[in-house]
Structure 1
Amino acid sequence: MGLKSMISKPYAKFATKKLRVAADKAVEIQLQIMSELVGKAMHTQFGKDHHFSSIRNYVDFKEAIPVKDYEGLRPYIDRIVKGEYNILWEGRPIYFAETSGTTSGVKYIPITKESISNHINGARNALLAYITNSGNAQFVDGKLIFLSGSPILHDTNGIPTGRLSGIVNHHIPSYLTKNQMPSYDTNCVDDWEQKLDKIVEETISKDMTLISGIPPWMQMYFDRLIAKTDKKIKDIFPNFSVMVYGGVNFDPYKKKLFDSIGKSVDTVELYPASEGFIAFQDNMENEGLLLNTNAGIFYEFIPTEEIFDENPTRLHLGEVELDKNYALVINSNAGLWGYLIGDTVKFISLQPYRINVTGRIKHFISAFGEHVIGEEVDWAIAKASEEHNVEITEFTIAPMVVQGDGQSYHEWFIEFTKMPENLTAFVETLDNHLRSRNEYYDDLIKGNILQKLHITPIQKDGFINYMKSIGKLGGQNKLPRLSNDRKIAEAMEKFKL
């Protein structure tokens, strides 16, 4: 055991104990954060416009601050971009996290000197909790790889701007920088495939112990290593013991990833977003992610069935219920107010507050009134794949609207690593699993409004080539799993088998 791993164990135990104490007082801490945020931003332009000086409690807070998406906050953010001070938060942000949206174009998410620690400490706390729960600290002595965006930042009127993962790269603790892979120069390569080749070259002979990234891009990394060596990952990196992931549901990728590795390794799930580090897996034995309730973010929750209502119900943490889908709203020390982040979550524990991410507000299919969400399709395809010994690389779903009762259907575009022996039987199983999770979809099938789903197999690397064709290959880019139109479906036609 090295010096770092020896030191990390007692430190992890101390830090994890603090996390548990804070988790026990989560509601109290949340309401305190609400008051502190209002007090700090009282004299900003947003605070003046929304009468922060009159806010005394959560009822006042809801009356003063409307729920908004990025477009709702854009007039304020545009003023910050132009160089104005004290708009959403005191002073100016120290960074903009740049993201791309389907309707908003480029989005500039502010990161302030107060909020940057939220992004850094969330991942740190997840690893410290893992060390305490597993007893495995040896990985900190080896090489750690973070498959992330470029750390090169550009200037937006005096504010450094780039992808969140690139910004965070500048704040990795000094005690980890010697262990960190890939090199800075390689991380700066823009082209994802060139970057991946360089990462393989740099890491193939190293003692890699932790690998982190979005599952489909970790799989690409593994595929390149296996192609180059004709070995499983366990034989290339015998001390590899921890896989850290986030960004998408892990289940559809799990079997292929572990087959590529060739052995079981521990996994740690994170829920990072450009707007804040929301939650992390704090316990290997309990399902769900611990909500990050003591990090400068005040959370609100809207029942998903009310999300498009003019005056939806808004709840603070102490008012939520188990097993109910909520749209997540954040208010933060980055200057985001009543901000609809776009994700939906479900509480699976209230002691402590643990969540599952169930989907995206805009990523669902309801072309026929079925309102199928990400959680349901991920569960259905994972179950069907397990039962039919199928491996899947990637998939996306779109509605096919055909005139006439019983003619329309959901079309699943699936890239199989391992095809089902009987595709018809696989379709039947998958459709039945989805029907078991969504009564509206089931009713439409029973009522002869919809046919059962269709599967269009996609050629090898079809989704990679699609992402490349739209300039979103690699890094933190994610393929939408669910659509209410056929834009992606039409693009995938040229990649079908």
Structure 2
Amino acid sequence: MKFKSLLAKPFASIVHNKIKKEMLKAVEDQEAILQELVKTGRKTEFGNEHHFNAVQSYDEFKQAVPLRDYEQFKPYIQRIKEGKQNVLWKGQPIYFAKTSGTTSGVKYIPISKDSVNNHIDTARNALLNYMGETGNSAFADGKMIFLSGSPELERVGGIPTGRLSGIVNHHIPRYLRTNQLPSYETNCIEDWETKLDKIVEETINQDMTLISGIPPWVQMYFDRLIERTNGKRIKEIFKNFDVMVYGGVNFEPYRAKLMASIGGPIHTIETFPASEGFFAFQDSQEQEGLLLNTNSGIYYEFIPANEIFNENPTRLSLKDVQTGVNYAMIINSNAGLWGYNLGDTVKFISTNPYRLLVTGRIKHFISAFGEHVIGEEVEYSLMRAAAEENVQITEFTVAPKVQTSGELPYHEWFVEFENPPADLSAFANRVDANLRQKNIYYDDLLRGNILQPLKIRNIRKQGFIDYMKAIGKLGGQNKVPRLSNDRKLADELSAYIQQ
């Protein structure tokens, strides 16, 4: 055992035990966090406007603080950009995390001196907890790669601003810097394909032990490595590669191809980070789901997903959630986000401890006819059919086809296959049957001859990559939405259908 892995072991054990203890007092910690948030918030412009001096309980907090999305927060963000102090949180943010919004354009998410540790410490704890659970610390002695955005920061209203992954890069501990790849200069390259080629050059002869990133871009990195080594699998190139950390999208649609590329068993650690906070991580290699991060400056609320567009939806604290229900996640944080609708949906699979699955995005659904099909349902339907026919999926998305010439409307699926099914029509029927089983409203629409069965369009090889390149969103933290309720994405993808 080498020096770094030896040093990490006792620290990992401490963190692992601390996390196990915190599992038992999640509700208690959440109540304490709310009190601390409100106490500090009383000294802010937001707290004054919302009468925080009169807030003593969660029920009073719900009455005082309405739900907001980013668009409704923009006036506060604008005042911060103008140099105002104590707007949403004490002082000013130490960073803005810059992220692309689907409806709001570029978003500037505040990160405060108090909240930055949520991002840094949770990422660290996910790895240390894994070490503590499995006893595997050997990867700490090898090279680690974090496929991320550029660490170069601009200034917006005098505040350092950039992609979250780039901000976090500035906080990697000094003792890990010698393990980290790619180089700072390579990380600063904006063009993804140029950057990827440089990453391959810098890593191909290194002892890579941990690789982290969003699955489709990790796969692109693997593809380049395999191409450069005349077909070698990743475990042949990196013999000590042992751990893959991922987040941002559901892993299942990418699992088969990634594992085939790797060519051997590895451990994986799933995470749930966002610019607004680091919310959950996989705490067990044996148990399904992600452990909610309940003691890190964030107070969570949950709204049944089917109520999110109601005028007065039900708002629940952690102690009142139930397993098996899709919830929209609302956060209140020590970055100054209050009643903030994150846009993600989650489903608890355990409340002792609080473990969840990320099931999709509120705005990513199809309900052109009242069916309200969600991401979890389309992923299940496709991946079950793929497993039954031993088919590997590279990428996919779904949209409604409403206006048709003389035929019933339908759901149109755009799928890029690693190995396409022998009979695409029969495969589509399998997917359709799975979706009908999963969503009774969709089934009713087909039974009532309002919809016809779904149709699959075979996207050519590299089609999604070429599309993302064409719109300037190749690599980094960018993701293809699973569902759209309009035709914008579908119409653009039509140019990439296999002829």
TM-score range, shorter chain: over 0.9
Between the aligned partners of 1:271 and 1:102, the Cα distance in structure 2 is 19
Which position in structure 1 is the counterpart of 2:272?
Answer: 271
Between the aligned partners of 1:437 and 1:406, the Cα distance in structure 2 is 25
Label 1:206 to 1:57 Cα distance change in 2 as closer, same or farther (>3 A).
same
Which position in structure 1 is the counterpart of 2:497?
Answer: 496
Which deviations, in whole Å up to 9, do the C-alpha atoms of 1:378-434 show, x marking residues without a partner? 111111111111111101111001358961111000111111112122111111111
Between the aligned partners of 2:88 and 2:303, the Cα distance in structure 1 is 23
1:268-307 equivalences under 5 Å are 268-307=269-308
Which position in structure 2 is the counterpart of 1:125?
Answer: 125
Which position in structure 1 is the counterpart of 2:434?
Answer: 433
Between the aligned partners of 1:293 and 1:308, the Cα distance in structure 2 is 26
Which position in structure 2 is the counterpart of 1:167?
Answer: 167
1:394 aligned counterpart, secondary structure: strand
1:369 maps to amino acid = G
Between the aligned partners of 2:483 and 2:162, the Cα distance in structure 1 is 27
Which position in structure 1 is the counterpart of 2:81?
Answer: 81
Between the aligned partners of 1:92 and 1:394, the Cα distance in structure 2 is 41
Which position in structure 2 is the counterpart of 1:238?
Answer: 239
1:367 aligned counterpart, secondary structure: coil
Superposed displacement of residue 102, structure 1: 2.3
Superposed displacement of residue 18, structure 1: 0.7
Between the aligned partners of 2:9 and 2:449, the Cα distance in structure 1 is 60
Contact 2:416 2:464 in 1 (8 A): yes
Which position in structure 2 is the counterpart of 1:372?
Answer: 373
Which deviates further from its counterpart, 444-453 or 154-163? 444-453
Which position in structure 2 is the counterpart of 1:4?
Answer: 4
Between the aligned partners of 1:378 and 1:210, the Cα distance in structure 2 is 27
2:265 maps to amino acid = S
1:76-225 equivalences under 5 Å are 76-225=76-225
Superposed displacement of residue 236, structure 1: 0.4
TM-score (norm 1): 0.99
TM-score (norm 2): 0.98
Between the aligned partners of 1:111 and 1:453, the Cα distance in structure 2 is 43
Between the aligned partners of 2:217 and 2:405, the Cα distance in structure 1 is 41
Which position in structure 2 is the counterpart of 1:25?
Answer: 25
Which position in structure 1 is the counterpart of 2:327?
Answer: 326
Which deviations, in whole Å up to 9, do the C-alpha atoms of 1:96-136 show, x marking residues without a partner? 00011122111100000000000011111111111122221
Contact 2:80 2:157 in 1 (8 A): no
Contact 1:406 1:449 in 2 (8 A): no
1:360 maps to amino acid = R
1:8 aligned counterpart, secondary structure: helix
Between the aligned partners of 1:152 and 1:295, the Cα distance in structure 2 is 27
2:198 maps to amino acid = K
Identity of aligned residues (%): 63
Which deviates further from its counterpart, 122-131 or 50-59? 122-131
Contact 2:68 2:340 in 1 (8 A): yes
Between the aligned partners of 1:7 and 1:409, the Cα distance in structure 2 is 58
1:477 aligned counterpart, secondary structure: coil
Which deviations, in whole Å up to 9, do the C-alpha atoms of 1:133-190 show, x marking residues without a partner? 2221100100000000000000112100000000000001111111000000000000
Superposed displacement of residue 300, structure 1: 0.3
Which position in structure 2 is the counterpart of 1:359?
Answer: 360
Between the aligned partners of 1:7 and 1:487, the Cα distance in structure 2 is 52
1:293 aligned counterpart, secondary structure: coil
Between the aligned partners of 1:108 and 1:235, the Cα distance in structure 2 is 42
Contact 1:406 1:448 in 2 (8 A): no
Between the aligned partners of 1:206 and 1:494, the Cα distance in structure 2 is 39
Between the aligned partners of 1:127 and 1:433, the Cα distance in structure 2 is 36
Which deviates further from its counterpart, 396-405 or 127-136? 396-405
Contact 1:405 1:448 in 2 (8 A): no
1:459-470 equivalences under 5 Å are 459-470=460-471
RMSD: 1.0
Which deviations, in whole Å up to 9, do the C-alpha atoms of 1:206-227 show, x marking residues without a partner? 0000000000000000000000
Which deviations, in whole Å up to 9, do the C-alpha atoms of 1:190-239 show, x marking residues without a partner? 00000000000000000000000000000000000000102111110010
Between the aligned partners of 1:285 and 1:426, the Cα distance in structure 2 is 32
Contact 1:396 1:412 in 2 (8 A): yes
1:475 aligned counterpart, secondary structure: coil
Label 1:337 to 1:405 Cα distance change in 2 as closer, same or farther (>3 A).
farther
1:440 aligned counterpart, secondary structure: helix
Which deviates further from its counterpart, 334-343 or 94-103? 94-103
Which position in structure 2 is the counterpart of 1:51?
Answer: 51
Which position in structure 2 is the counterpart of 1:487?
Answer: 488
Query: Runs in 1 of length 4+ with deviation above 6 angstroms?
Result: none
1:9 maps to amino acid = K
1:131 maps to amino acid = M
Between the aligned partners of 2:162 and 2:353, the Cα distance in structure 1 is 34
